[in-house]
Every structure is written in C-alpha cells, then in structure tokens.
Amino acid sequence: MEVLIYNQDKPDLSPIQARYCASFTCRLRGLTFKKPLPAQKGLLLAQAHENRLDAAIHMVGVWMDLAVVWINTNKEVVDLVLARRWRPLYIPRSPARYVLEVNALHLSDYEIGDRLKFDAQELG
C-alpha cells in the first residue's frame, strides 16, 4: 500500500508518496541496500504503539543520507534528524508510532509539532 503524506502546517508543500511498512521484517529491512529515493518518495514505518526504542532506526547498509521524521499516534512530528548513511542507531527523543524516511532534501519541510495527514492509496 502507498500513503500520501501531507504536512497540514505547510500546505504549499507537495505530498510525499510513501510505501507503508508495518511488518517486523519490512521495518527491519527498511531501505537497506536500496537505490537512492526519488525526491517525492519515501518509506513510512508503522508500529502498533508509540515507543522510543521500537521507533529507533539503523542506517547500516543504507547508501544514502535520509531525512527521518518521527510521528506520534496523533500524527504530530515529535522528532526529526538528518540520518547519515552507515550510522548504527538513531533513537527519537519522544515516543513515536510512525517513522517517515525520505530524501534528505526534505528535512526542512518538517518541524517538531507539525501536524501530518496520511491518505492511503491502494496500488492497482
């Protein structure tokens, strides 16, 4: 499934088209050994509950720097970072339920407290 992600606090920005990733295997693999992301594409990692440790990511085997945005259950940005390739671990400062991984160019598109909207798009 694909998800369009809109920043409701910055409506002039184009949405990110992200692959929705909820299984443990999908979240673990993430973007490891994948080609660089096109500008408007991303990966949305989703877990059942908000948690700091479960929302942590690794960059081992990731060939590109990423803008990583941690989002809580209310779809508010709770942390963000420029994640550098091949770094072992990034943990959010606050509990998160979703982790949005996008092209590093998008880091300035988000701020802590921004409200996001997800629109599911079935692939067909």
Q: What CATH code is carried by the domain that includes residue 54? A: 2.60.120.1140
Domains: count for the chain: 1
CB-based contact 90:56 (threshold 8 Å): yes
In tens, the pLDDT along 17-34 reads: 999 999 988 887 888 888
Look up the domain containing 6 and give its range. Answer: 2-121
Q: What percent of the chain has pLDDT over 90?
A: 83
Which pLDDT belongs to residue 24? 85
CB-based contact 3:44 (threshold 8 Å): yes
Strands 16-21 and 96-103: unpaired
Report residue 124's pLDDT band, with 50, 70 and 90 as the boundaries: very low
What is this structure's pTM?
0.92
User: 66 phi and psi, to 5 degrees?
Assistant: -130, 150
DSSP strand E in 1-124: where? 2-7, 16-21, 41-51, 66-71, 77-83, 96-103, 116-121
